[in-house]
């Protein structure tokens, strides 16, 4: 939320800031989740049972399968994420233009274009790397499963395509525990497949929440930055805002209420690539629900 110098907020500005980002993420997440599920389906159409069976026999995944995984994420960025980023950029600027007469927001300036390029490259690189590591681990760990033949192993592995390394390990540990407890191989495979479906949904939700929140927070920062640089906003301070509930992590809770200058970095150890904003705005980690309250503490040189 952007709180202008000459405005009075009827309710808590921090609460309104959280409502703003929630409205955007809640609107965008369902579509992102649905299209991420389609992206996984595209991967599994290429990484077939035969592909996995051959990998189990040879010990390595084919280059065509690896390229298909990267292509699936590239298409997701080009056809889905870029559209969502544009929506975030546009919405942040429209709000400020309405409230500060004379200000014209440019959602396609050099800074925004650079962020988009960097974030697109980071997303494809990291998701591809995580997914390939998961597939390779599934093949490598399954080779030593003496209780199952190659065909059975391929059937168990294919639903894991699209999961990251920790998820694959968790799924295989779950499968092994079922076998250890006397569950039949057929039933254990079915249960592990259902577990994989839940893991896919969780990963899709995490990616959708992280990407939509990241785009909104960065877009709002850019809108304020442009207004300040053009003289339509005075000095601005930004305040970290958490959801402040039982799901808030210790790191974000320690940042809650921290107030710094517009171009200063918040002090957190990001688990995300630097291209998302170099600590200038949340998220601090995947699934982060935090946002920023911008407070104009001195009047602008232009405008009202």
Average pLDDT score, the chain? 88
**Could you tell me which residues come within 8 angstroms of residue 134 by beta carbon, excluding any fewer than 6 positions away?**
160, 161, 162, 163, 164, 165, 167, 168
pTM: 0.88
Tokens of 11: 């309710």
Is 15 inside any structural domain? no
Structural domain boundaries, residue 54: 23-232
Lowest mean per-residue pLDDT among 53-62, 64-73, 79-88, 143-152: 143-152
Q: Are 209 and 287 in contact (CB under 8 A)?
A: yes
The model's pLDDT over 126-152, given as tens digits with 9 standing for 90+, comes to 999 999 999 988 888 775 566 678 888
Is 262 inside any structural domain? no
The model's pLDDT over 247-300, given as tens digits with 9 standing for 90+, comes to 888 889 999 999 999 999 998 776 665 554 558 899 988 889 899 999 999 999
Q: Which of 85, 28, 22, 20 is nearest to 208 (CA)?
A: 28
Is 192 inside any structural domain? yes
Is 11 inside any structural domain? no
Is 303 inside any structural domain? no
Report how many domains make up the chain: 1
Q: Which of 277, 299, 301 is nearest to 290 (CA)?
A: 277
The model's pLDDT over 150-202, given as tens digits with 9 standing for 90+, comes to 888 888 888 999 999 999 999 999 998 998 899 998 899 999 999 999 999 99
Is 94 inside any structural domain? yes
Is 242 inside any structural domain? no
Question: What's the distance, Cα to Cα, between the start and end of the chain in Å?
Answer: 20
Is 263 inside any structural domain? no
């Amino acid at each position: 939320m952007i709180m202008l110098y000459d405005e009075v907020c009827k309710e808590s500005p921090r609460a309104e800031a959280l409502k703003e980002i929630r409205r955007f993420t809640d609107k965008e997440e369902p579509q992102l989740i649905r299209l991420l599920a389609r992206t996984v389906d595209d991967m599994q159409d290429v990484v077939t049972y035969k592909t996995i069976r051959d990998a189990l026999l040879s010990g390595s995944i084919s280059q065509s399968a690896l390229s298909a995984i990267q292509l699936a994420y590239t298409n997701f960025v080009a056809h889905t994420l870029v559209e969502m980023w544009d929506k975030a950029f546009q919405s942040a600027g429209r709000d400020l233009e309405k409230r500060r007469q004379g200000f014209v927001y440019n959602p396609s300036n050099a800074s925004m274009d650079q962020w988009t390029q960097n974030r697109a490259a980071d997303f494809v690189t990291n998701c591809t790397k995580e997914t390939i590591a998961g597939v390779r681990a599934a093949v490598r760990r399954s080779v030593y499963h003496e209780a199952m033949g190659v065909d059975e192993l391929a059937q168990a592995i294919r639903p894991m395509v699209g999961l990251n390394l920790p998820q694959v390990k968790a799924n295989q540990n779950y499968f092994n525990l079922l076998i250890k407890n006397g569950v039949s191989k057929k039933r254990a495979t079915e249960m592990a497949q259902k577990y994989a479906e839940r893991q896919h949904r969780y990963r899709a939700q995490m990616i959708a929440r992280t990407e939509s929140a990241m785009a909104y927070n960065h877009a709002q920062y850019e809108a304020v930055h442009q207004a300040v640089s053009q003289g339509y906003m005075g000095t601005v301070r930004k305040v970290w805002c958490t959801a402040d509930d039982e799901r808030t992590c210790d790191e974000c809770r320690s940042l809650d209420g921290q107030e710094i200058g517009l171009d200063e970095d918040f002090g957190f150890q990001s688990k995300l690539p630097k291209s998302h904003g170099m600590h200038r705005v949340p998220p601090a980690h995947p699934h982060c629900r935090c946002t920023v309250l911008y407070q104009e503490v001195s009047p602008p040189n232009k405008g009202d």
